[in-house]
Structure 1
Amino acid sequence: MRSISGKILRLALTAFLCGAFTGPAAAQEGTPAKQLFGTVKLPSKAEAEPLGFYAKGCMSGAVALPTDGPTWQAMRLSRNRRWGNPEMIALLERFSGDAARLGWGSGILVGDISQPRGGPMITGHASHQIGLDADIWFTPKPAQPLTAQQRESLPFTSMLDKSKFLTVDPSRWTSTHAKVVMQAASYPQVERVFVNPAIKKKLCETWTGDRNLLGKVRPIYGHDEHFHIRIHCPAGAATCQSQAPVAKGDGCDNSLAWWFSKEPWAPPPKPDPNKKPVKPRQVMLSDLPKACAAVLAAPSRPEDDATFGGGAIAYTAQPAASAPAKTIEAIVNDPPPASDDLPIPTPRPLQ
């Protein structure tokens, strides 16, 4: 059934892309991709497929994490970023229950997943484009459910001691924080869990469980107020571009030590005053996988049918398998060389 529907979808995409761009389609070519995807309110009415790379793609057939569940709440609802691949949403629901059983309040607070059709965002992340990434707050879900206003205004809580360079605040970080992060890394379908380098260092110093799982926990700029879960490309998702697997071991090595050296934090060289500043190039629709144009043009699924596990769309979670590796850290629009697993810090965290 999947292969037949997949062929139909590919034929439809081919027919669309072979046609001449006219009317609205022509206008798309002059508009940054983040503006196109950032204004779409509902997912496409199609089979769920991640298209492209974590930081350079889109998705069809997304489903929404329900705003409220027994062990989770979705945050910052005004952003409309609680959409994802069904396997990502199923994992979050499972993880929320496991976190609550570990003593993480009454569950988890879920931040950004993806936009209704994925793609680049107007503000925020470089990744989260194909529905396989999700942010979890370092704040447990309180016993009393948060109101809509509280979900918009509740401040983040950093795990860092702001008076010391890359140091975890011992008054905030607990063994339960460590258990929750490592629980996220324990699922077979989880490929990476991104945390601040100081948090990774703390785990390296204190974690007494499976050290191989610790290798999945990757240091990256920012991520002191939330951690970021990324899952593998779903089994059979030929349109999804995978990352290379993480290196063997616990990751408590030179790749972590690099973050505590001077190199990542050195100021950029001063620009040549005699050279004309180069305006950053916007990511356009033509820079994304070709199928993303059809995803934007596809009819929307009715909102009542778009929530995971409800309405006309009901999914049964299946364990995800890793697709063959092609690339590595998804922290920029064009992935760096396969030998480089060290993202360069920038003014805001790129994921």
Structure 2
Amino acid sequence: MTRYLTKVTLALGLTLATWTGTAQAQTEARQLFGAARDSSAQVAQPLGSYARGCVAGAVQLPETGPTWQAMRLSRNRNWGHPDMISFIWRFSQQVVTDAGWNGIYVGDISQPRGGPMLSGHASHQMGLDADIWMLPPERLDLTELERENLSSISIRSEDQRSVNANWTAGHMAVLRAAASDPAVARIFVTAAAKQEMCRTAGEDRAWLRKIRPWWGHNYHFHVRLNCPEGATNCQNQAAIPAGDGCDETLAWWTSEEALNPPPAAPGTPAPTPRRQLTMADLPQQCATVLAN
């Protein structure tokens, strides 16, 4: 009888474990990662890719430093891989030297354990992406409430084809400093800013290669770091094309086709909404990151 009960207990336990694992695998990953309030107690490592991954052992950026402030603290997205936290320290200091800014306002980095977010970004999942505001800080002693209510500035004109009066030589110096850092893989900005930098850069142009046009980056720019050396479970993005990026492909970003695409023809099926990632879509190690 005892042996029979033992077999039943083991069978029930295995069935429950299998059901739980299957249920979690089918759960929207953003719900699980969005609920995590702190990092995992693991050795720091990025897992997966920028838009399909997580981060073990993330580090929280201090809310205020000598040359930065983390913004929108209520989001709890000021966590990153140690390489990103180190980058923000040194980059924010370089901004003071190169651009004469007081420092930087830091937007979203990642959630405490990375992964998909409940709202906003498709990337920022491995702790290797960070948004830096276009607003030059006047103060670095903002209260928590001020950080929730203060807004950045747009450096793009209303027609999206050029920079506006908010754009300064300081912005170019800030972006040059970020792009010159060896840890940086690429930087996403509004196309109008890239075009302006191509026009005014002069002979020192190598750094422009890392500056990439992308929609929606007129209030902030997005810094993406390379996978750290030895991070075998981290997948880098495809290499940037050769050249400085100041060619005919850049002109397309402010063309009529890019800014005002024609409406779909009658009878054309509506685009399928983007499917939310489940745990099954992420590296298997991400389940351990959540459980740790």
Query: By the TM > 0.5 criterion, same fold?
Result: yes
Shift of 1:103: 3.9
CA distance in 2, matches of 1:279, 1:102: 43
Matches within 5 A, 1:244-323: 244-264=238-258, 265-270=260-265, 272=267, 280-298=274-292
Matches within 5 A, 1:55-66: 55-66=51-62
Pick aligned residue for 2:154 from 155, 158, 180? 158
2:67/2:140 contact within 8 Å kept = no
SS class of match (2:185): strand
2:144 maps to 148
1:120/1:126 contact within 8 Å kept = yes
Structure in which a larger fraction of residues adopt helix: 2
| Structure with larger Rg | 2
Matches within 5 A, 1:330-345: none
Shift of 1:235: 0.2
CA distance in 2, matches of 1:156, 1:21: 48
CA distance in 1, matches of 2:286, 2:263: 35
Shift of 1:28: 2.1
**Are the structure 2 counterparts of residues 176 and 37 from structure 1 closer, same or farther at C-alpha, using a change threshold of 3 Å?**
same
2:83 maps to 87
1:53 maps to 49
Question: Which whole-Å deviations, capped at 9, do the CAs of 1:59-90 have from their partners, x for residues lacking one?
Answer: 10100110010000000000000111101110
What is the one-letter code of the residue matched to 1:97? Q
Instruction: Tell me the number of residue pairs that the alignment of Structure 1 and Structure 2 aligns.
Output: 276
Question: Unaligned 5+ residue runs, structure 2?
Answer: 1-15
2:8 maps to none
Shift of 1:254: 2.0
SS class of match (2:47): strand
**Are the structure 2 counterparts of residues 86 and 270 from structure 1 closer, same or farther at C-alpha, using a change threshold of 3 Å?**
same
2:163 maps to 168
Report the RMSD for the aligned CA atoms in angstroms: 1.9
Matches within 5 A, 1:100-111: 100-111=96-107
Pick aligned residue for 1:76 from 66, 72, 75? 72
What is the one-letter code of the residue matched to 2:162? T
Matches within 5 A, 1:187-226: 187-208=181-202, 210-226=204-220
1:104/1:180 contact within 8 Å kept = no
**Are the structure 2 counterparts of residues 271 and 27 from structure 1 closer, same or farther at C-alpha, using a change threshold of 3 Å?**
farther
CA distance in 2, matches of 1:161, 1:228: 19
Shift of 1:174: 0.8
Moved over 6 A (4+): none
Q: Is it true that 1:234 corresponds to 2:228 in the alignment?
A: yes
2:132/2:222 contact within 8 Å kept = yes
Shift of 1:278: 5.0
1:104/1:140 contact within 8 Å kept = no
SS class of match (2:288): helix
What is the one-letter code of the residue matched to 2:264? P
Shift of 1:215: 0.8
What is the one-letter code of the residue matched to 1:269? A
SS class of match (1:29): helix
Shift of 1:105: 3.0
Pick aligned residue for 1:42 from 27, 38, 55? 38
Shift of 1:26: 4.5
Question: Which whole-Å deviations, capped at 9, do the CAs of 1:82-122 have from their partners, x for residues lacking one?
Answer: 11110111011100011112344310000000001111111
SS class of match (1:176): helix
What is the one-letter code of the residue matched to 1:119? G
1:182/1:213 contact within 8 Å kept = yes
1:105/1:143 contact within 8 Å kept = no
% same residue: 51
TM-score by length of 2: 0.89
2:171 maps to 177
SS class of match (2:142): coil
Question: Unaligned 5+ residue runs, structure 1?
Answer: 1-18, 299-351
SS class of match (1:193): strand
Shift of 1:229: 0.6
What is the one-letter code of the residue matched to 2:286? C
1:133 maps to 129
